[in-house]
Structure 1
Amino acid sequence: MNGRLSRRKVFGLGAAGVAAAGAGVIASRSLVEEPVAADGGTAAPFPFYGEHQAGIVTPAQDRLHFVAFDVVTDKRAELVDLLQEWTAAAARLTQGREAGALGAVGGSPEAAPDDTGEALGLPASGLTLTIGFGPSLFDRRFGLAERRPAALADLPKFPGEQLVPEISGGDLCVQACAHDPQVAVHAIRNLTRIGFGKVSVRWSQLGFGRTSSTSRAQVTPRNLMGFKDGTNNMKLEDAALLRDQLWARAEDGAGWMTGGSYLVTRKIRMIVETWDRTSLREQEEIFGRSKGEGAPVGRKNEFDPVDLAAMRPDAHVRLAHPSSHGGAHLLRRGYNYVDGSDGLGRLDAGLFFIAYQRDPRTQFVPVQMGLARADRLNEYIKHVSSGVFACPPGVRDAGDYWGRALFS
């Protein structure tokens, strides 16, 4: 026996513990905290309940399926019901179970299954599901206009960006991260199924090969330009920095967001064909780091102190450094993507940038504005998609649901 229990078998063992708790919340706390993997490795689940949503400081997994939704109902009660149903499903899915109580094969043959079934037999694979609310949700449809946080401001237009409206924005977003792409896709597919008639998919993005480490236990990964990415990223071990730079507080002006965070996404296409013909010296000068070790200019090792004065004024590391923006930090957890070709023999590939912070107005916006105006790397990239979302605090227990404080 390999130490793993299938989703179906584990669900069967725990089915007696499933109880309704509030509208649509069907998974008890004891049920979702039961592990499904005995090997303790990447198959094991992360806890769903907690002060903060999982998928933010959680050690970054290998795969991503990110989706933005438009809400198509104009009834507040239906939106709340959906969030309750999604929360119940997320509590189950993140623990390696099926999305609904009856599962893929346990219901009536004459009815649609409670789960699509493609993850049967697969472990939890470290799945996390993280929800966010976009600025457009706070219009007049649901009576939320007065509750829109000041920090959830529309992003300004940055120099040089070429955004495609159809793959930008959204009322809601869900970030699914896992070590198995099928597990991440399965989760998004089932939330979409549950939301039929209430939400529609606006855009989605698959990602692979995380481009940031969010824990000191993880090595620094590489982006598709071949460079280590996110060397000085905030880490879950940086407790004081996270309190100051990541988590929203009541005094920020939106009490319902206390313990939450603000998410910015950017799809950044890399002109890899041009980059691949650029000399190594030029590549290293553009980034401000060596390509092999990842050491800053003039240093030997990746984590040696950065000497900004030794870099070109338009070097990426220099322009993005917190000291250039009043100490502003971002918690990055982006992913590489390849979306085939553009029909002209060029790869449609790059970085799906994801960053969490306490206030995008004082963190992401000044950093990106500085990069947009002067970064030499802009010759090789273009921003084609953008989104900003308020990610509420975590779900405390089985009687809670995503965003409850917003609708209370």
Structure 2
Amino acid sequence: MSEHISRRKIFGLGAAGVAAAGAGAIAARSLLAEPPVVHASSTSGAFPFYGEHQAGIVTPAQDRLHFVAFDVTTTRREELTGLLQEWTAAAARLTQGRDAGASGAVGGPPEAAPDDTGEALGLPASGLTLTVGFGASLFDDRFGLAARRPAALADLPRFPGERLIPEISGGDICVQACAHDPQVAVHAIRNLARIGFGKVTVRWSQLGFGRTSSTSRAQTTPRNLMGFKDGTNNMKLEDDDLVRDQLWAAAEDGADWMAGGSYLVTRKIRMTIETWDRTSLREQEDIFGRDKNEGAPAGKKNEFDPVDLAAMKPDAHVRLAHPTAHANAHLLRRGYNYVDGSDGLGRLDAGLFFIAYQRDPRRQFVPVQMSLAKNDPLNEYIKHVSSGMFACPPGVRDAGDYWGRQLFA
């Protein structure tokens, strides 16, 4: 064969691609140009990159996360748009199980750095999705975007009891990498950061494992580090009317470039694990309003039994967050557990990296979180230490499009 095909490309092709590679270079070249898309029914498949909406939002939640927030260091608009075009092209390749660079991971002149860092060679696509968002700080006077800042991208209010650390909050641009293999997710972020050298710097990042929400009815409900099923009543991709009304931004919302996009809120919530573990089962269940074993709402037997708010305590977490208490406001949650080692006293630095998508945080996340911050007894066991909000534009339509093109048009 006259051209190098990396093991990662071969895995991205699937069995048909491997057979074609053995049959001849012409067939292999054709398959590499248009790799087949597997709808990630297994943990090794690939989700489509191009579409009306960005992948990684209603996509069935994968098992691993690498989330990063960047600060833009260039002050030249054309350099920023050029970077977004480079990132988009790399993301289109990476999500299909290919290398970050067009020339291949070990291609190009030996005197130059390779186009891909190489740690994902031999690994399949693993359901990788890459989702980009723009923070409010990007809409300052550097790039002429101030007038295009959506009203829904308003600064979050200060919530009672929060102890935010500025160094791990905010950011100009975020990228959410989700995959079933942590090395695939880390590889993707590492290569985007490498491509962005000299134009962006990493402000903060977060690794996550063990999804804490289901975004499809085909998925079982996972558990958070407090041991409770999390996200039983989460909005699901199959809820067509709810998704249209509560998740996707529309042109009539006031920012036409965001039509088909969504607003992302992140919160790093540290849990005082050791204190929680010494709390009685009855108190734990009263705090959540659910049975710990089955996940059934108070007074019921099964997880998906209808919630009876009157059967639980007035300040139960489920009751305070329920849509009926907030003008039918829903969130699409797709958060992750995290463990960042331990502190100097031997206590786990662990908790929930909360991720929620919605049409307008002012009507959805803000009222729900304000109610929880003021009244939720769970606050005795948690503290919010970081926060971010980002406008995630619509999807990339084809190879001639790029992340955020509508914003910069």
Residue 81 of structure 1: how far off its partner (Å): 0.2
2:305 counterpart of 1:304: yes
Equivalent residues in 2 for 1:35-74 (5 A)? 35=37, 41-74=42-75
Residue 35 of structure 1: how far off its partner (Å): 3.7
Residue 314 of structure 1: how far off its partner (Å): 1.1
Distance 1:189 1:379, change over 3 A: same
State the match for 1:387 in structure 2. 388
Equivalent residues in 2 for 1:9-408 (5 A)? 9=10, 31=33, 33-35=35-37, 41-408=42-409
Deviations 1:11-60 (A, max 9, x none): 897998999xxxxxxxx9994552479x9511000000000000000000
Which amino acid in the other structure matches residue 121 of structure 2? L
CA distance in 2, matches of 1:399, 1:35: 19
Q: Is the 8 A contact 1:211 1:334 kept in 2?
A: yes
Q: Is the 8 A contact 2:288 2:317 kept in 1?
A: yes
CA distance in 1, matches of 2:242, 2:41: 29
CA distance in 2, matches of 1:311, 1:183: 42
Distance 1:311 1:92, change over 3 A: same
CA distance in 2, matches of 1:16, 1:389: 44
Which amino acid in the other structure matches residue 159 of structure 1? P
Distance 1:344 1:17, change over 3 A: farther
Deviations 1:100-146 (A, max 9, x none): 01222111110000000000000000000000000000000000000
Residue 165 of structure 1: how far off its partner (Å): 0.1
Structure 2 gaps of 5+ residues are 1-5
Deviations 1:308-358 (A, max 9, x none): 111111110000000010100000000000000011110000000000000
Structure 1 gaps of 5+ residues are 20-27
SS in 2 for 1:336: strand
Q: Is the 8 A contact 1:56 1:356 kept in 2?
A: yes
Q: Is the 8 A contact 2:9 2:32 kept in 1?
A: no
Q: Is the 8 A contact 2:38 2:47 kept in 1?
A: no
Which amino acid in the other structure matches residue 323 of structure 1? T
State the match for 1:25 in structure 2. none
Deviations 1:232-275 (A, max 9, x none): 00000000000000000000000000000000000000000000
Residue 10 of structure 1: how far off its partner (Å): 6.0
CA distance in 2, matches of 1:56, 1:11: 22
Distance 1:339 1:16, change over 3 A: farther
SS in 2 for 1:151: helix
SS in 2 for 1:265: strand
CA distance in 2, matches of 1:347, 1:280: 21
Deviations 1:386-405 (A, max 9, x none): 00000000000000000000
CA distance in 2, matches of 1:332, 1:253: 24
CA distance in 2, matches of 1:153, 1:208: 30
Distance 1:375 1:182, change over 3 A: same
Over the residues paired in the alignment, what is the CA RMSD in angstroms?
A: 2.1
Q: Is the 8 A contact 1:285 1:315 kept in 2?
A: yes
Calculate percent identity across the aligned residue pairs: 82
Q: Is the 8 A contact 1:177 1:184 kept in 2?
A: yes
Give TM-score scaled by structure 2 length. 0.93
SS in 1 for 2:68: strand
CA distance in 1, matches of 2:120, 2:83: 22
Give TM-score scaled by structure 1 length. 0.93
CA distance in 1, matches of 2:33, 2:376: 50
Distance 1:291 1:32, change over 3 A: farther
SS in 1 for 2:153: coil
Deviations 1:74-93 (A, max 9, x none): 00000000000000000000
Q: Is the 8 A contact 1:32 1:95 kept in 2?
A: no
The total of aligned residue pairs comes to 395
Structure 1 window deviating more from structure 2 (384-393 vs 6-15): it is: 6-15
Which amino acid in the other structure matches residue 358 of structure 2? Q
Q: Is the 8 A contact 2:126 2:184 kept in 1?
A: yes
Distance 1:32 1:369, change over 3 A: farther
CA distance in 2, matches of 1:405, 1:352: 30
Q: Is the 8 A contact 2:64 2:211 kept in 1?
A: yes
CA distance in 1, matches of 2:63, 2:164: 27
